[in-house]
Amino acid sequence: MSLENIRIVLVNPSHPGNIGAVARAMKTMCLHALHLVTPVDYTGPETRARAAGADDVLADITCNKSLTEALEGSRLVIGTSTRTRAIPWPSLEPDVGARQLVAEAEHGPVALVFGREKMGLTNAELDQCQFVVSIPANSQYSSLNLACAVQVMSYEILRASRQAQNTKTREWHEAHVPLARNEDIDRFYRHLQEVLEEIRFLDPENPRKLMRRLHRLFNRACLDENEVNILRGILTAVQRHGGKRAC
Ligand code: SAH
């Protein structure tokens, strides 16, 4: 099983103790790859104390300047959130999300993204996720401590990987073409926006929520490498024939 392909990404963690506790939560569940996006200084004693022996996970932490950088190479990106939003993101139960991560990790890196202790993930960050997982909780008090949320999801991932070892089936994505990498999908969205502006479908002065809705649509499809290439080809053809209307 390719648990080493599963990255846990923490965006702007602000408590060194939480980073240590996340390392411990991961190691107990056989996960190792911890990516941080612009974290607090975590080199003090509190981090190691809370890591309680997961020093190898701490030693191998990768620090990134942006979420995009942390997701480089990832073929499936799942965000985590307590909140329901104006445009609901396609959501999965924790066990289903974990199964998808485990299945896709057979083919390359995948990422599970956690938000800031105070304010979670921004909508723009969730735009980079194909799915969002919410851990079922008290509707009046649903926000878990960051490391507790990582523990619950890491447990689901370990369970899913043990089940997959037993069945060796790939349930959700029938085609054997690997999913597209995050950076290729990002380039596709930028290309799409460029074309929509060129054909005046998208007004940059008044974009409304069009790009967000389109992110949602395409993320739901979990585009594979071939599909992204086809879409990029269509956009290029539209640009080549710019201005000429089909009758
Ligand atoms: N006040 C923040 C909560 C942040 S808790 C908010 O309203 O979003 C820090 C992070 O832990 C969250 O961004 C999320 O990644 C994770 N988390 C906490 N509780 C969760 C839950 N019930 N389901 C999924 N993720 C959760």
Tell me, using a 6 A CB cutoff, whether residue 9 lines ligand 1.
Answer: no
Q: Alpha-carbon dihedral of residues 232, 184, 125, 137, nearest 10 degrees?
A: 100
Distance from C-alpha of 77 to C-alpha of 121, rounded to nearest angstrom: 13
Q: Which helix (H) or strand (E) holds 233?
A: helix 225-240
Structure confidence at residue 219 (pLDDT) = 86
Pocket probe for ligand 1: among 14, 77, 84, 143, the residue whose CB has the most ligand atoms within 8 Å is 143
Tell me, using a 6 A CB cutoff, whether residue 114 lines ligand 1.
Answer: yes
Q: Enumerate residues 6+ apart whose C-beta is below 8 A from 196.
A: 202, 210
Structure confidence at residue 85 (pLDDT) = 66
Q: Which residues in the chain come in under a pLDDT of 50? A: 169-170, 246-247
Pocket probe for ligand 1: among 14, 144, 150, the residue whose CB has the most ligand atoms within 8 Å is 144
Tell me, using a 6 A CB cutoff, whether residue 81 lines ligand 1.
Answer: yes
Tell me, using a 6 A CB cutoff, whether residue 94 lines ligand 1.
Answer: no
Nearest CA owner, ligand 1 atom 11: 146
Q: Which helix (H) or strand (E) holds 186?
A: helix 182-198
Ligand 1: atom nearest CA of 143 is 19
Q: Give the model confidence (pLDDT) of 87-106 as tens digits.
A: 678 899 999 999 999 999 99
Tell me, using a 6 A CB cutoff, whether residue 148 lines ligand 1.
Answer: no
Q: Angle, to 10 degrees, between the axis of helix 16-28 and the axis of helix 146-167?
A: 20
Ligand 1 centroid – CA 243 distance (Å): 47
Structure confidence at residue 84 (pLDDT) = 65
Ligand 1: atom nearest CA of 114 is 15
Domains, the chain, ordered by start: 3-163 (3.40.1280.10), 182-241 (1.10.8.590)
Torsion sign (Cα): 127, 5, 185, 68: positive
Q: Enumerate residues 6+ apart whose C-beta is below 8 A from 218.
A: 185, 188, 189, 231
Q: Give the model confidence (pLDDT) of 31-76 as tens digits.
A: 999 999 999 999 999 999 999 999 999 999 999 999 999 999 999 9
Structure confidence at residue 246 (pLDDT) = 43
